[in-house]
Amino acid sequence: MVNFSHGWWVIFQYVHIIKKGHIMNPCNLNQLGVSSKTPWAVGHFNIHNMEFIRPVVRAAEQEKSPAILAVGMLSVKYMGLEPLITACQIIAKETNVPIAIHLDHARDLNTVRQALDLGINSVMFDGSSLGYEENVEKTTQVVQMAHASGATAEGEIGIVPHGDITVSKDDMTDPAKAVEFAARTGVDFLAVSLGSVHGMKTAGTSLNQELLQELYKQIPAPLVLHGASGVVDAHIKDAVANGIRKINVNTGLKVVLKDFLSSRFKNNPESDLLDDLDLGMNRVTESIARRMRLFGSSNKA
């Protein structure tokens, strides 16, 4: 479906690129250099405060990799939408590697509107719990709202569940529905369900690679993997080879910081908290850099 704002949206993006002769940060997902054709995926890292924002940008600079700073709903509840987006915007402007700011799992149009008004570059609408037609309808509205602001939009088809459960066949993405959903909504990126689960503290799940290959063949929009913290490295690598182009990491980074701080507090009870957090940020940076190498995004900035 071609919507009325598409032409303006393309012009927006070019103006954005032409200024200063290179990409100006922050940018949207289509300005990160990744597409369905690139043999690598960009990392989406959920941030909750400065202790996560800085490590994402530091790792991006070290690895010369584009990156996505993702603002999720629990973090909005914790820190507030405007403080988080503003902090991301300020830090993103300090670097020349492409950094996008993205709203993760918005479930209502008001939050999407607020985030776009604050200048966010990309929004994900999660209508996976809605009926199919309502998901199509609301996601289409989000795509139009995003494009009118020069932002990109991600939708979700199939269900990536939360908690210690396995994904049922019914929750996995149905290829025919996904093809229709992508065409009708016009999403720039499409999240699909292949077997991963949100919120896993250790990596143990595998992915349905045959389903992914089938989706990749038929859907032009870059495909997104949610719940990557719970997926073993070998399966992440195969998923990139089979067409995943954006990989969402949240829980795994929280675990790295919490594990480090737990042992640090135990072993150095007299240390200054800022030194503890500084060392903690180094651990988070290392973990992000390792994932960028795994996703193949190093040296792609």
**Beta carbon of residue 72, minimum distance to Zn ion (angstroms, whole number):** 8
**Alpha-carbon distance values, 7 to 57, 82, 151, 275 (Å):** 32, 29, 13, 50
Q: Is 226 in the site for Zn ion (CB under 5 A)?
A: yes
Q: Within 265-284, which residues bind Zn ion (CB under 5 A)?
A: none
Q: Which is nearer to Zn ion, 211 or 247 (CB)?
A: 247
Q: Is 102 in the site for Zn ion (CB under 5 A)?
A: no
Interatomic CA distance for residues 121 and 24, integer angstroms: 12
Burial of 14 (C-beta count, 10 Å sphere; 0-12/13-18/19+)? exposed
Q: Is the peptide bond before 26 cis (omega within 30 degrees of 0)?
A: yes
**Beta carbon of residue 68, minimum distance to Zn ion (angstroms, whole number):** 12
**Beta carbon of residue 220, minimum distance to Zn ion (angstroms, whole number):** 22
Note if 174 is an active site residue. Answer: no
Do 175 and 218 meet the contact criterion of CB atoms below 8 Å apart?
A: yes
**Beta carbon of residue 160, minimum distance to Zn ion (angstroms, whole number):** 6
| Catalytic residue chosen out of the listed positions 104, 126, 174, 188 | 104
Structure tokens at 289: 């850099």
**Beta carbon of residue 143, minimum distance to Zn ion (angstroms, whole number):** 18
Residue in the block written with tokens 């402007």: 93
Q: Within 114-133, which residues bind Zn ion (CB under 5 A)?
A: none
Q: Is 44 in the site for Zn ion (CB under 5 A)?
A: no
Which of 73-81, 208-216, 219-227, 237-245 is the region at the interface with Zn ion (rule: CB under 5 A)? Answer: 219-227
Interatomic CA distance for residues 165 and 196, integer angstroms: 10
Residue in the block written with tokens 């594990």: 259
**Beta carbon of residue 248, minimum distance to Zn ion (angstroms, whole number):** 5
How does 264-282 read in b/e, with b if 16+ C-beta sit within 10 Å? beeeeeeeeeeeebeebbe
Compute how many residues bind Zn ion; rule: CB under 5 A.
1
Do 299 and 63 meet the contact criterion of CB atoms below 8 Å apart?
A: yes
Q: Which is nearer to Zn ion, 226 or 264 (CB)?
A: 226
Tell me which residues touch Zn ion (CB under 5 A). 226
Active site residues: 104
